[in-house]
A and B are shown apart, each in its own frame.
Chain A
Amino acid sequence: MAKMTIKDKLALLSDAAKYDASCASSGTSTRGSRDGKGLGSTTGSGICHAYAPDGRCISLLKILMTNYCVYDCAYCVNRVSSNVPRARFTVEEVVWLTTEFYRRNYIEGLFLSSGIIKSSDYTMEEMVRIAETLRKGGFRGYIHLKTIPDASPELIERAGLVADRLSINIELPTDASVKAYAPEKDPAGIRQAMGKVRLTKEDYSDRTHTGRRRGNFAPAGQSTQMIVGADAADDATILGNSTRLYSSYGLKRVYYSAFSPIPDSSSVLPLVDPPLMREHRLYQADWLLRFYDFSLDEIVTRDAGGMLDLEVDPKLAWALANRDRFPVDVNRAPKEDLLRIPGFGTRIVQRILKARRSGALGLEDIRRMGGRVRAARPFVVTRDHHPGARLDQADLRARFVKPKQMELF
């Protein structure tokens, strides 16, 4: 076989990496290269350097080290029984691509994942070597490493000391699905690995008696990904699993990835179009759980079939189902109640709390502050507005549901 060019490898190994949803480059410690001795900076908030026609942001060079894999996970294009052509980057190739792309301002850094070759430790060690080589060469951009669950703790520790973020994919929402579709993966082992990352991070952030920290271990924390729509798990199960992951392992993010057809697919999985709206609603619900103080059973219940409403967003769905909690007086209500008004985000609520100290607010004031007045109108009382009987109207929901439109492509 002719030797593959780096372009051929890049095509294969980025194609194989596109099913990973995360592209975040935010939340890490602040660094720069103003001193002229290195390359790169991080500011705490990420930068999306391009957008693909699938609407996803491109922030990092997201590639696999190799797409050879000894595992046979049904949902994965790289599983051992798949027919796709295989390739493998050398350490030097990944380092070169990352820094050259970075110098041209194409990317914020590297997101490196890999199929499992030889052994977990061998694979992890090669990935860590790539990140370490980048750092030794003065690279100060963002590095996200996908860790291998059963790699040794020493390797995880080395990974966390050079990477900004570590992640391990939980893949499927229930242990039963993991066992059915990813026979070589061990859900308990994945959780234990997440636990180890949390503990190591805590150990590193503990101050010593001199008040210094031991080191900067994965400053942007850890994240994970769940595939949605490949198995029969409902939204209640998925979100229940996420809240548990957030509280148990201190995860920064859980990503939801709508399962989409893959080349050379396995016969045990559906080949429908990816449930993109469901994915979107899960992200919205996840947000309500983390930043809006909603509890899981307020957003989705098994009585309601355990699924989120696809037509309206989860906050609006909650408001429509709990009309007795409205209208809320924008000028008097406590923060918790303001956060539950459809159309109000956390920032608008902050602004309202500050601004109302110097006078009662009207609808136009709220619009000027950036609130979505159309969504909020039926649920709020302001200086110049009362929804009156509108809250009791049977067709209130219909006002928010967009008429069905044919897809353009």
Chain B
Amino acid sequence: MPRLGTHAAWREAARALATTPPEAVDWGWQDRGASMFDAPLPVSSAALSVPKGFDALSRTLMAERTGEGFAVSHALLHRLQAERGLMSRRADPLVARAERVAKDVRRDIHKMHAFLRFKEVPGDGRRRRFAAWFEPSHRIEETTADFFVNRFGDMDWVIVTPEVTLRHLGGTLEMQAVASGRPDESDPLEQLWTTYYSNIFNPARLKLNAMRAEMPKKYWKNMPETAAIPGLVAEARKRVEAMQAAPMRAPRTAAPRQIAPIADDLPGLAVRLQACTACPIHCGATQAVMGEGRPQAPVMIVGEQPGDREDLVGRPFVGPAGQLFDQVAARAGLDRSACYVTNAVKHFKYIQRGKTRLHQRPDAAEIRACRSWLMQEIALVRPRLLVAMGGTAAEALTGRGTGVLARRGTLEETPFGLPVWITIHPSALLRMPDATARADARRQFESDLAAIPDMLKKQAE
């Protein structure tokens, strides 16, 4: 096989040899003195089809230094003609061997992407020019070239390896298979880079084996920063001991955080609410969510608790249930901007399911713990009518939260005599799987909301 254009040449030959038993073929590299072909190739058989994944794998295997990759690829191709599912059988000794060889090549490719170091050299004045010397373990120059073309698009560069030279000049890539020796160049930036390398290292956490496992010594001689390693290691213990022996300093005593003065208005209440730790829900929440709306609104709409979005935004009724409420209220002729909307419980209670937070109903103790905040809101807004949406709100306002479906559309009272209009919570609509039941419930919810303006009018008379 030729040193460059290996994959195309191999494919051409393999196409002809697909049905020839692998034992009968001796693959080799052209530059190792292998004669082209001892016997003429058979005429290419009918169009071959290979499963997904084979092309990429064989492409990787081509770069294997000893030529084992050619033989393994050929053996795979040969067996694939009869065994369609072979590629997914990782336990098959041949597939396992191919993957092992490919893994070794891939690692070499990855290390060339990572450890190759460019040095700046004089350019043509239009584009800056850089040169690099790298000694790969496998014949990966062709495979890696694309990475460097895609990454260093606006500069000219030359990558020289002992066997191949890659030239990227004016945006065009050229490859040549020529033997080269290591050039002697330096770049003043190497000193700055070594400064960075030496200082980003934490002497208190030496882990030399972890370093060597990922950056084997064979790469070190062409990486400028590695010259600093022996010194860094030798000094590490001393530096840590010096830190530990140094006199310790007491921290500046910080001024205590300003605690909000107790204020008899809604903004003051909101500030104090943020500090609430009366029940355990606060631990999991981002923030307490205060009600909002017209300060002296005649109607206060009370929902259950903030949901995922309300918890992040810090405002009530902005999530899916809140948006549904807005839609239904608008159709029912209820002007939300004339209301004050809030929740019975101020922090988001949830359980974690994988990466999402699922709403969880607050229990009686939590509703009780939060009730004083709701009562303070009522005292400051002084609404004429309370609307309890769902069981939690009904419980917080009337003391009884059960059987809301039976109670909806009725008027009850708070212990201190304020009227409470009972309806369902819009999130209940969102959860109903049955479309007809959902449409019914939505109509009822809409008629509940539509009744509110009339009730207010009657109250005013």
Contact = CB atoms under 8 A, between A and B. Distances in A.
Given A18-B200, A243-B352, A80 B252 contact: yes
29 contacts: A15-B199, A17-B200, A18-B199, A18-B200, A35-B153, A36-B171, A40-B151, A47-B110, A49-B114, A52-B232, A54-B206, A62-B200, A74-B251, A101-B193, A103-B118, A103-B155, A191-B286, A194-B286, A199-B313, A243-B352, A247-B357, A265-B249, A266-B249, A268-B250, A273-B204, A274-B204, A354-B90, A355-B91, A408-B208
A14 B89 contact: no
Contacts of A199: 309, 312-313
A184 B352 CA distance: 30
Contacts of B116: 105
A50 B155 contact: no
A263 B205 CA distance: 14
Given A32-B151, A192-B286, A266-B248, A50 B91 contact: no
Interface in B385-418: none
A37 B249 contact: no
Contacts of B211: 51-55
Contact of A11 (B117, B189, B195): B195
Contacts of B243: 261-263, 265, 271
Interface in B202-233: 202-211, 214-215, 223, 225-226, 229, 232-233
Interface string B414-455: 000000000000000000000000000000000000000000
A6 interface: yes
A61 B196 contact: yes
Contacts of B375: none
Interface residues of B, number: 86
Contacts of A97: 192
Contacts of A19: 202
B107 interface: no
Interface residues of A, number: 97
Given A105-B117, A198-B312, A368-B91, A264 B249 contact: yes
B192 A263 contact: no
A29 interface: no
Contact of B118 (A34, A104, A361): A104
Interface of A: 6-7, 10-12, 14-15, 17-19, 32-41, 43, 47-58, 61-62, 72, 74, 79-83, 97, 100-101, 103-106, 138, 183-184, 186, 188, 191-192, 194-196, 198-199, 243-244, 246-250, 258, 260-268, 271, 273-274, 276, 293, 351, 354-355, 357-359, 361, 365-366, 368-370, 408-409
Given A105-B116, A191-B287, A250-B355, A264 B246 contact: yes
A361 B91 contact: yes
A61 B195 CA distance: 12
B110, B187, B192 pick with most chain A CB within 10 angstroms: B192
Contacts of A262: 243
B154 A247 contact: no
Contacts of B236: 53, 409
- Residue picked from B199, B254, B357, most chain A C-beta under 10 Å: B199
B215 A195 contact: no
A139 B104 CA distance: 32
Contact of A52 (B197, B209, B240): B197
B151 A72 contact: no
A344 B233 CA distance: 35
Given A11-B199, A53-B206, A79-B251, 9 more contacts: A10-B196, A33-B151, A33-B153, A34-B149, A36-B154, A54-B211, A106-B193, A248-B286, A276-B207
A183 B202 CA distance: 26
B150 interface: yes
Interface string B318-347: 000000000000000000000000000000
A18 B91 CA distance: 43
Contacts of B27: none
B150 A355 contact: no
Nearest to A35: B153
A267 B206 contact: no
A55 B205 contact: yes
B152 interface: yes
B197 A58 contact: yes
A244 B191 contact: no
B150 A41 contact: yes
Nearest to B348: A248
A81 B154 contact: no
Contacts of A50: 114-115, 197, 215, 223, 225-226
B410 to A, nearest CB: 38
Given A7-B191, A106-B117, A188-B274, A276 B151 contact: no
B312 A33 contact: no
A120 B200 CA distance: 25
B128 interface: yes
